Amino acid sequence: MAGKIKIGVVGGTGYTGVELLRLLVQHPDAEISLITSRQEAGTAVSAMFSSLRGRVDLEFSAPSDAALKKCDLVFFATPNGVAMQQARALYDAGIKIIDIAADFRIKDIPVWEKWYGTKHACPELVAEAVYGLPEVNREKIRGARIVANPGCYPTAVQLGFLPLVRNKLVDLKHLIADAKSGVSGAGRKAEVHTLFAEAADNFKAYGVPGHRHLPEISQGLAVMAGVDVGLIFTPHLTPMIRGIHATLYARLNGDVDLQSLYEKTYAGEPFVDVMPAGSHPDTRSVRGSNMCRIAVHRPQGGDTAVVLSVIDNLTKGAAGQAVQNMNLMFGLAETTGLEQVPLMP
């Protein structure tokens, strides 16, 4: 493509926003034009995030349709419910959109309204939006004008289940996803359950009766399978900052070489690493990277597949996947700006 992609970031003050900025300033084809924040307008971005000193010289600006319409692409790194208020005007102006929140992920509007507790402000664009899981929708993403970036748990769970579900090798009515996340997944806001004294040296499940990511995961798995699936999804909060570990269970229908199946499914995928047989991937092995690492087991040679899937919730689970989608939408190599080696330790 000619020239750099002019980018607007709506809501650049959260953990997903600063992760997105970290990746974009290292991207050779990206130019950040503006970063909005109603509350922090006029404040230098580098004053809030010293990690960006010398890399981002902008101030946070008040949201303005006029300014955003000068961009080629707008990322919404905002709480749920914000993008749907602004997307229509940008879409009509020909601006491409990537929503890192949940406003356009779930195709069934009543289901979305039930789980997110509000009326959808832009239902007509939900059908237009492409679900941005590249390993599933790569070709559709290339031609998309609006992309619904997947959630963090849904990314780890869907990539882990995909080979089994797509090939109908398991009992699709009894899938189990037991997933753990670091506290950054709760966002950059003050809440009691994420206080250091509450979250450190502690471990707990939450959202067991139902979590907002459940309908998103179920929708994605149903698309893969071609039929509705039955899924139990239990998230947990862990005393770490970044990372998701999903342990997935499925009853096999028959005999299958799981290792070969996963290796063949993800051969050539730049951001999915199927580890050697017997491996146990850890969240530290993907920290700060756009990689999903997967290992598959069949304990005692029985009829249950156990899949281990790890990602960084802020990168492959949010901002990194959003940049991956941007690359596809603008005809760039998919790995551009995303080849950072994970941080160790």
* Residues with active-site annotation: 152
Kindly report the three-state secondary structure assignment for every residue of 204-268: EECCCCCCCHHHHHHHHHHHHHCCCCCEEEEEEECCCCCCEEEEEEEEECCCCCHHHHHHHHCCC
Contact 239, 203 (CB under 8 A): yes
Contact 7, 31 (CB under 8 A): yes
Query: Count of alpha carbons within 13 Å of 114, Cβ hemisphere only?
Result: 12
Q: Where are the alpha helices (DSSP H) in the chain?
A: 15-24, 45-48, 65-68, 83-92, 109-116, 134-142, 152-166, 196-199, 213-225, 258-265, 320-329
Phi and psi torsions of 66, nearest 5°: -60, -45
**288 dihedral zone (left: phi>0; alpha: psi -120 to 50; beta):** left
Dihedral of CA 52/322/185/38: which sign?
positive
- Rounded CA gap, 269 and 285, in Å? 18
- Rounded CA gap, 171 and 226, in Å? 14
Is residue 209 reached through a cis peptide bond, with omega within 30 degrees of 0 on the bond before it?
no
- Rounded CA gap, 15 and 136, in Å? 26
- Rounded CA gap, 210 and 46, in Å? 38
Strand order in the sheet with 60-61: 60-61, 30-36, 5-10, 73-76, 96-99, 146-148, 130-131
